[in-house]
Amino acid sequence: MKSPYKGKTGLTRVWNALLYSLDGLSAAFKHEDAFRQEVLLALVLIPLALYTPAAGLGKALMVASVLLVLVVELLNSSIEAVTDRISLEDHVLAKRAKDMGSAAVLLSLLIAAGIWLAALRQLFFA
Protein backbone atom coordinates (compact mmCIF):
# COMPACT_ATOMS: atom_id res chain seq x y z
CA MET A 1 0.00 0.00 0.00
CA LYS A 2 1.38 3.35 -1.01
CA SER A 3 1.57 6.05 1.64
CA PRO A 4 -0.60 9.10 0.94
CA TYR A 5 2.18 11.23 2.42
CA LYS A 6 4.75 10.17 -0.16
CA GLY A 7 4.98 11.57 -3.65
CA LYS A 8 4.91 15.24 -2.77
CA THR A 9 7.83 17.10 -4.28
CA GLY A 10 9.57 20.44 -4.12
CA LEU A 11 8.56 23.07 -1.61
CA THR A 12 5.39 21.18 -0.66
CA ARG A 13 7.47 18.25 0.54
CA VAL A 14 9.86 20.52 2.44
CA TRP A 15 6.97 22.43 4.04
CA ASN A 16 5.21 19.20 5.06
CA ALA A 17 8.44 17.80 6.47
CA LEU A 18 8.91 20.96 8.53
CA LEU A 19 5.36 20.72 9.90
CA TYR A 20 5.79 17.02 10.77
CA SER A 21 9.06 17.82 12.52
CA LEU A 22 7.45 20.58 14.56
CA ASP A 23 4.63 18.18 15.46
CA GLY A 24 7.24 15.68 16.62
CA LEU A 25 9.06 18.23 18.76
CA SER A 26 5.76 19.37 20.25
CA ALA A 27 4.67 15.80 21.03
CA ALA A 28 8.03 15.02 22.65
CA PHE A 29 7.88 18.14 24.78
CA LYS A 30 4.26 17.47 25.76
CA HIS A 31 4.56 13.76 26.53
CA GLU A 32 8.18 13.03 27.45
CA ASP A 33 9.51 14.19 30.82
CA ALA A 34 13.10 13.33 29.94
CA PHE A 35 12.92 15.38 26.74
CA ARG A 36 11.58 18.40 28.65
CA GLN A 37 14.40 18.08 31.19
CA GLU A 38 17.00 17.86 28.44
CA VAL A 39 15.51 20.86 26.61
CA LEU A 40 15.77 22.89 29.82
CA LEU A 41 19.38 21.75 30.21
CA ALA A 42 20.03 22.74 26.58
CA LEU A 43 18.53 26.18 27.20
CA VAL A 44 21.18 26.67 29.88
CA LEU A 45 24.15 24.90 28.29
CA ILE A 46 23.94 26.20 24.72
CA PRO A 47 24.12 29.90 25.65
CA LEU A 48 26.82 29.02 28.19
CA ALA A 49 28.83 27.30 25.46
CA LEU A 50 28.46 30.30 23.17
CA TYR A 51 29.66 32.70 25.87
CA THR A 52 32.72 30.70 26.91
CA PRO A 53 36.09 31.89 25.65
CA ALA A 54 36.52 28.57 23.81
CA ALA A 55 37.60 28.58 20.18
CA GLY A 56 34.96 28.15 17.51
CA LEU A 57 35.47 24.40 17.23
CA GLY A 58 35.22 24.00 20.99
CA LYS A 59 31.97 25.94 21.06
CA ALA A 60 30.63 23.93 18.13
CA LEU A 61 31.46 20.63 19.85
CA MET A 62 29.86 21.76 23.10
CA VAL A 63 26.64 22.81 21.33
CA ALA A 64 26.60 19.73 19.07
CA SER A 65 26.99 17.39 22.05
CA VAL A 66 23.94 18.94 23.72
CA LEU A 67 21.92 18.69 20.51
CA LEU A 68 23.05 15.07 20.14
CA VAL A 69 21.42 14.26 23.47
CA LEU A 70 18.14 15.74 22.23
CA VAL A 71 18.31 13.80 18.96
CA VAL A 72 18.99 10.51 20.72
CA GLU A 73 16.20 11.19 23.22
CA LEU A 74 13.77 11.77 20.34
CA LEU A 75 14.80 8.46 18.77
CA ASN A 76 14.51 6.67 22.10
CA SER A 77 11.06 8.12 22.69
CA SER A 78 9.95 7.02 19.23
CA ILE A 79 11.19 3.47 19.89
CA GLU A 80 9.25 3.42 23.15
CA ALA A 81 6.09 4.78 21.51
CA VAL A 82 6.17 2.23 18.69
CA THR A 83 6.91 -0.60 21.12
CA ASP A 84 3.99 0.43 23.34
CA ARG A 85 1.74 0.77 20.27
CA ILE A 86 2.45 -2.82 19.29
CA SER A 87 1.81 -4.21 22.76
CA LEU A 88 1.88 -3.15 26.39
CA GLU A 89 2.52 -6.68 27.64
CA ASP A 90 5.94 -7.59 28.95
CA HIS A 91 8.05 -9.15 26.24
CA VAL A 92 11.77 -9.82 26.13
CA LEU A 93 12.18 -8.10 22.74
CA ALA A 94 10.19 -5.04 23.81
CA LYS A 95 12.36 -4.74 26.92
CA ARG A 96 15.49 -5.16 24.83
CA ALA A 97 14.43 -2.43 22.40
CA LYS A 98 13.58 -0.02 25.20
CA ASP A 99 16.76 -0.81 27.13
CA MET A 100 18.90 -0.27 24.03
CA GLY A 101 17.22 3.08 23.41
CA SER A 102 17.90 4.05 27.01
CA ALA A 103 21.52 2.94 26.64
CA ALA A 104 21.86 5.16 23.57
CA VAL A 105 20.64 8.13 25.61
CA LEU A 106 23.13 7.29 28.36
CA LEU A 107 26.00 7.12 25.87
CA SER A 108 24.99 10.47 24.34
CA LEU A 109 24.97 12.01 27.82
CA LEU A 110 28.43 10.56 28.52
CA ILE A 111 29.71 11.94 25.22
CA ALA A 112 28.32 15.38 26.06
CA ALA A 113 29.81 15.28 29.56
CA GLY A 114 33.19 14.23 28.16
CA ILE A 115 33.22 17.01 25.58
CA TRP A 116 32.20 19.62 28.14
CA LEU A 117 34.78 18.43 30.66
CA ALA A 118 37.53 18.44 28.04
CA ALA A 119 36.56 21.90 26.78
CA LEU A 120 36.29 23.40 30.25
CA ARG A 121 39.51 21.73 31.36
CA GLN A 122 41.32 23.22 28.39
CA LEU A 123 39.86 26.66 29.10
CA PHE A 124 40.51 26.83 32.81
CA PHE A 125 43.37 24.43 33.51
CA ALA A 126 45.57 24.66 30.42
| Catalytic residue ranges | 73
The answer to whether the beta carbons of residues 41 and 61 sit under 8 Å apart is no
CB atoms within 10 A of CB 63: 18
CA–CA gap between residue 97 and residue 86 (Å, rounded): 12
C-alpha–C-alpha distance, residues 85 and 114, integer Å = 35
Separation of alpha carbons 52 and 58, rounded Å: 9
